[in-house]
Amino acid sequence: MEYFSKELEVAGKKFIIESGKLAKQANGSCTVRIGGTIILATVVASKEPNPNVDFMPLTVDYRERNYAAGKIPGGFFKRESKPRDEEILTSRLIDRSIRPLFPKYWRNDTQISVIVLSHDGENDSDIAAILGTSIALYMSDLPFKIPVASVRVGKVDGRFAINPLIVDQISNELDLVVSGTEEALTMVEAAANELSEEEVLEALSFAKDTVKEICLFQKMLPTKIKIEVPCTNYNLLLKADIEVEAVSKAELSVAIKEKSEREFFWTSFKKDLSARLMQKYPNESVSTVNEILEDIFYRKARELILHKRVRSDGRGFEEVRPIICETDVLPRAHGSSLFTRGQTQALVTATLGTPTDMQVIDGLIGEHKERFIFHYNFPGFATGEPKGERAVSRREIGHGNLAKRALKSILPDENDFGYTIRIVSDILESNGSSSMASVCGASLALFNAGVPVKSSCAGIAMGLIKEGENYIVLTDIVGMEDHLGDMDFKVAGTKKGITALQMDIKILGITIEIIAQALEQAKRGRFFILDKMDAVISVPKNDISNYAPRMVTLAIPQDKIGELIGPGGKNIRKIQEDNNVKIDIEENGKVCITGLESIGVDSAKEYVESLTIEAEVGKIYMGRIVKIMTFGAFAEILPGKEGLIHISQLSEQRVKKVEDIVREGDEVKVKVIEIDSQGRINLSLKAVN
């Protein structure tokens, strides 16, 4: 491919695309620049199909090089290691945007690599990464013939904006990433601040025209001759023999309501039929038989819904599976819940920590601390598989992030509730939509933990079966409907509005009209689930768990920080030791006091407050005599603040010796009679009497 450079303007921002200069041995490559942010996207595929897979073997790796922001990696080795969560999430965005656009039978190992070469801290690299991936694929010889584009939609100052700057996203009501082709949408990912369905649709429509514009631009780029992907040609006699037995069995199987019973029935039939057919057709493979059988099962499962208007478990198209909500299921957890919806079950816990427990995240645009942490675990036993726990999977990271975004907008402000919050969702059983079960369970656990969240939050997964113009939208899909359907559309929110969206499709695209129907159906399903949750616990507990740390925060003047700490840390050590607490002080004067018992925390708070209070002339204080001198006595009237009671101020009568009136350790009432220009405090004992 010869070198070229093209410019594309999107919403007033200029993208510069170059190809033919870097990574020329890849099947396709390009760089995309917006401002000072530059990404390199490459695509490489094996020469021959992988005979050991029955799916498209696509891997996407998005990586951020620290030099892109002029940084040196931390740690002993001083080099980038495993991908951070943010890199994995962007890899998933790219994968989900392009995967539906490959031919069904593409079996060549395909590797997408996107590297951030430069980052200006103003322009997002993920949108450029999706554009670069599409261009690299479209210009390559791979069978990717329909370009895809992606935009970010924000709502800044009440108005929608395409690809807002990073600084404008901080107080954003909406963070929506939309990918699509010239004709329809392929992927949606969003976090929102309780927006209505109408506002979300408006944002999607707002993005659609820009997506189309970018796709049309790509169609003008030069391309290589595409590799043709032949359809699988089965042995017609073998296929006929399978059809004779399998069609009726598939019809029976898809109508079995219970998941494990259905899987056992169909698996046993496949095993028996394969064994018999291998004797008749020794030159054929078991994998070929299984492919034909799965095609039949796929067809019959879709026919059941689309033509017979029946779901495998007998539910109506908008019917939600039976729900059981339980709270306080673990005695020592700060908050816990067990949310069961059909055969999907999530055990969710909420743990409260101090500000020192916040997660430190070091990214290209700087270091920041995260007070809300969400971890999602999907062990093998949840689906009856003998799979051990190893590294966290990309899917687990993605599902945890979706649930986190769904709940983040309902959390209390950090100034009102300063705790670090960690949610863990352990999926104990799964038959569809475990991420949305995690949202529901987390909401219940937060209520149970006494976190003053704004309202309860629930999620639901919507599905789609579509052939031509005929389609059906399904509420609360199970695993089979997800696997055999055309869409997985997760919607989370409160009764006030939507807080998170995630849409993935397996067909070339769906229209805004279908999304509108899915959103309205999801709203009804979400409200049904919220009613079930509110019937168990409708408001947060009045207090946090006895096992959670007690915490108070207060602000002191910055010039008083040194006084609070004291010489060599004397003051702060004394407060911590006397009250069995831990005190953290930030540079802005914010003081956080934590301990296991409220009495110690409250006592320390009073001490800190008194330590920063200035003495007032004319005010009476209870003072403790700390030093006796020949000319008077020194009394501590406030923590760290001492004043002199001159011998003449000890009594109305003449005093020969200070010890005749007071001794060290005595508690006496004294009045501040003067604070001189040097800040020295003069006290009087006789002025009180």
- Tens-place pLDDT, residues 436-491: 999 999 999 999 999 999 999 999 999 999 998 899 999 999 999 998 899 999 99
pLDDT band at 525 (very low <50, low <70, confident <90, very high): very high
pLDDT band at 26 (very low <50, low <70, confident <90, very high): very high
Look up residue 673 and give its amino acid: I
User: May I ask the CATH architecture of the domain 236-306?
Assistant: Orthogonal Bundle (1.10)
Q: How far apart are the first and last CA of the chain?
A: 99
Q: Give the C-alpha distances (Å, rounded to integers) separating 320 from 323, 442, 519.
A: 8, 19, 15
CA distance 161 to 124: 14
Determine which helix (DSSP H) or strand (DSSP E) holds 673, and give its type and residue range.
strand 667-675
Q: Give the C-alpha distances (Å, rounded to integers) separating 663 from 119, 550, 652.
A: 69, 39, 18
Determine which helix (DSSP H) or strand (DSSP E) holds 13, and give its type and residue range.
strand 13-19
Mean pLDDT across the stretch 64-76?
Answer: 88
Angle, CA 550 vertex, CA 546 and CA 556 arms, to 5°: 170
* Residue 162: closest CA among 11, 308, 24: 11
- Give φ, ψ of 81 to 5 degrees: -115, -125
> Three-state SS for 604?
helix
CB 621 within 8 A of CB 658: no
Q: In the block, which residue shows the tokens 């700087």?
A: 366
Asked whether residue 509 carries a pLDDT value surpassing 90, the answer given is no
Asked whether residue 389 carries a pLDDT value surpassing 90, the answer given is no
Look up residue 689 and give its amino acid: N
DSSP letters for 501-538:
EEEEESSS-B-HHHHHHHHHHHHHHHHHHHHHHHTT--
As a whole number of Å, the CA-based R_g of the chain is 33
Mean pLDDT across the stretch 541-547?
Answer: 91
Query: Helix 434-448 and helix 512-534: axis angle, to 10°?
Result: 40
Strand spans (E) along 49-200: 58-64, 110-118, 149-156, 159-162, 174-180, 185-195
CA distance 133 to 235: 37
Look up residue 630 and give its amino acid: T
Look up residue 479 and give its amino acid: G
CA distance 25 to 38: 20
* Residue 460: closest CA among 399, 521, 505, 506: 521
CA distance 227 to 678: 87
pLDDT at 1: 66
Q: What number of residues does the chain have?
A: 689
- Annotated domain spans of the chain: 4-218, 236-306, 323-534, 550-611, 620-684
Q: Tens digits of per-residue pLDDT, 346-371? A: 999 999 998 888 888 887 877 788 99
Two structure tokens written together for 550:
């007690």
CB 582 within 8 A of CB 545: no
pLDDT band at 75 (very low <50, low <70, confident <90, very high): confident
CA distance 685 to 305: 92
Determine which helix (DSSP H) or strand (DSSP E) holds 499, and give its type and residue range.
strand 498-505
CA distance 166 to 548: 36
Hey, which residues does 466 pair with through a beta bridge?
471
* Residue 502: closest CA among 361, 621, 395, 364: 395
Q: Is 667 exposed, middle or buried (0-12, 13-18, 19+ CB in 10 A)?
A: exposed
Q: How many other CB atoms sit within 10 Å of the CB of residue 293?
A: 21
pLDDT at 669: 92
pLDDT at 541: 94
Q: In the block, which residue shows the tokens 């993935």?
A: 504
Mean pLDDT across the stretch 541-563?
Answer: 88
CB 348 within 8 A of CB 425: yes
Q: In the block, which residue shows the tokens 């001198």?
A: 629
CB 522 within 8 A of CB 500: no
pLDDT band at 156 (very low <50, low <70, confident <90, very high): confident
DSSP count for the chain of H helices, then E strands: 13, 29
CB 638 within 8 A of CB 560: no
CA distance 461 to 491: 6
CB 592 within 8 A of CB 553: yes
Domains 323-534 and 620-684 share a fold: no
Superfamily of segment(s) 550-611: K Homology domain, type 1 (3.30.1370.10)
Q: Which residues contact 303 (CB under 8 A, 6 or more apart)?
A: none
Asked whether residue 15 carries a pLDDT value surpassing 90, the answer given is yes
pLDDT at 182: 92
pLDDT band at 81 (very low <50, low <70, confident <90, very high): confident
Q: What is the CATH number of domain 323-534?
A: 3.30.230.70
pLDDT at 77: 83
Look up residue 571 and give its amino acid: N
CA distance 254 to 599: 62
Mean pLDDT across the stretch 526-554?
Answer: 93
Q: Give the C-alpha distances (Å, rounded to integers) separating 54 from 230, 287, 479.
A: 15, 8, 19
Q: How many other CB atoms sit within 10 Å of the CB of residue 601?
A: 22
Q: Decide the pairing of beta strands 110-118 and 58-64.
A: parallel
Mean pLDDT across the stretch 263-284?
Answer: 91
Asked whether residue 640 carries a pLDDT value surpassing 80, the answer given is no
Superfamily of segment(s) 4-218: GHMP Kinase, N-terminal domain (3.30.230.70)
Asked whether residue 23 carries a pLDDT value surpassing 90, the answer given is yes
Q: Which residues contact 513 (CB under 8 A, 6 or more apart)?
A: none
pLDDT at 634: 94
| 3-class SS letters over 617-643 | CCCEEEEEEEEEECCEEEEEEECCEEE
- Average pLDDT score, the chain: 91
| DSSP-assigned letter for residue 133 | H
Q: What is the CATH number of domain 620-684?
A: 2.40.50.140
Q: Tens digits of per-residue pLDDT, 579-610? A: 999 998 888 888 889 998 889 999 888 888 87
